[in-house]
Amino acid sequence: MKKQITIREAVTETEIAVFWEQLHIYHKRDIFPNPESEDLEYFLGSEYYEHMMKLHDRAQDRCRYLFFHRDGQDIGFAMPIIYTTEDGKCFIMEFCVYPEKRGEGTGKECAKVLLEWAKENGALYAELNCSGDERRVRFWESAGFCRNGADEWGEPLMILPPTEDAPVTVEILTDADDWQLLKLENGFLEEIGERALTEEQQDSLQKAVRDGKITFFMAKRGCRAVGMCSVTKCFSTFSCSDTGVFDDFYIEPVFRKKGIARKLVKAEHEWCEENGVASVTVCCAPCDEEMYQALGFDTRLGSTFANII
C-alpha cells in the first residue's frame, strides 16, 4: 500500500536553499536542456531569484515554496501563488516530481494533493503555462485542466475552471499598460493561427489606446478579464459622420456560452450611441457570419477586399 503524499512548506533558510537547488536542477534537466539557452541563463540568474523572493516575502498573495513528501523524504516540489485578494486564482508556476520517484501515478497524486492544498488555502480555480509540451498538456488534462488562451508573453495556458459562476461586468479599458489586454490579444491571435504580439506591436497597440485611436471593452469576472472587443472610429463620407470598425472580439474558451458576448456587444453599442458613432461594421470569416448576425450585425454590405501594404 502506498503511503500518503503530504505537502510541507520550505520555511527556514536551509529549506529555501534546498528548494532553489532543486528548482535549478529541474530547469537545467527538464525545461531548458540546452546549456546555452538564454532562458536558462535568466532562470538561473539573480534577477529571477530576487523577483521570486520578493513575491515569496510579500504580505499578501505570497509565492509558496512547497515540497511533496512521502515515506520520510521529499519526492518533488511545487511553486504556486494564490491570489486570494483578487479572484482566487492559484497560478502553478512550477511543478516537479523527482525522476527517481516518477511512475505508478505519483505525479497525478502529487497534482491532486496540490490542488486540495490550494483549495484549503482559498483558491477557487487553478491555472498554469503548458508551453506547448504535449506530454505536459496530457498530464494536466488528466487532472481536469483544459487549454485556455495564452498569457501576455504568448505562452499557452491551461485552466482548471471555477466550479461556480460569478457576475461578469463590462468596462472600458483605461489603462493602456494593463497586462490583461496583451493576454487576451495573444489568446485571440493564437486562436486564429497568428503569432503572439512582438514587443514592437505591443508598444504600438498600447500607444493607440493612449492616443484614443481605439477603444477596448473588457469583460471582467471579478478582476479577471475573460473577454474583450474593440471599436476604431473613422469618418464616413457616405453618412458624413463617424462610423466604427468592430474588432478583437474574443472570449476565453472556458468562459464562453455564458452570455458574455452579448454583454460586450451591448456595451459597445451603448458607447457608440453616446459618442455619435452612426454605425459599426465587422469583417468576419464565413463560419462566423451567423454568430455576428445573432448579435445584431444583420445588414450585409457586400464583400470586403484588402490591399495589404
Q: What is the pLDDT of residues 148-181, one digit of tens each?
A: 999 999 999 999 999 888 899 999 999 999 999 9
pLDDT of the residue at 194: 93
pLDDT of the residue at 1: 45
259-284 tens-digit pLDDT: 999 999 999 999 999 999 988 999 88
Domain 6-123 sits in which CATH superfamily?
Gcn5-related N-acetyltransferase (GNAT) (3.40.630.30)
Distance CA 111, CA 114 (A): 5
85: amino acid identity, one letter: T
Going by C-alpha positions, the residue among 63, 135, 117, 70 that lies closest to residue 98 is 70
CB atoms within 10 A of CB 77: 23
147: amino acid identity, one letter: R
The domain limits of the chain are 6-123, 168-294
What's the farthest any 2 CA atoms get from each other in the chain? 79
Domains 6-123 and 168-294 share a fold: yes
6-31 tens-digit pLDDT: 999 999 999 999 999 999 999 999 99
**Cell triple for 101:** 520517484
Whole-model pTM: value is 0.90
Where residue 132 falls among pLDDT bands split at 50, 70, 90? low
Task: Kindly tell me if the per-residue pLDDT of 307 is higher than 70.
Answer: no
38-89 tens-digit pLDDT: 999 999 999 999 999 999 999 999 999 999 999 999 999 999 999 998 899 9
Task: Kindly tell me if the per-residue pLDDT of 308 is higher than 80.
Answer: no
Contacts of 170 (CB under 8 A, 6+ apart): 217, 218, 219, 220, 263, 264, 266, 267
Residue 81 and residue 63 in contact, taking contact as beta carbons nearer than 8 Å: yes
* Domain 168-294, second-level architecture: 3-Layer(aba) Sandwich (3.40)
CB atoms within 10 A of CB 69: 18
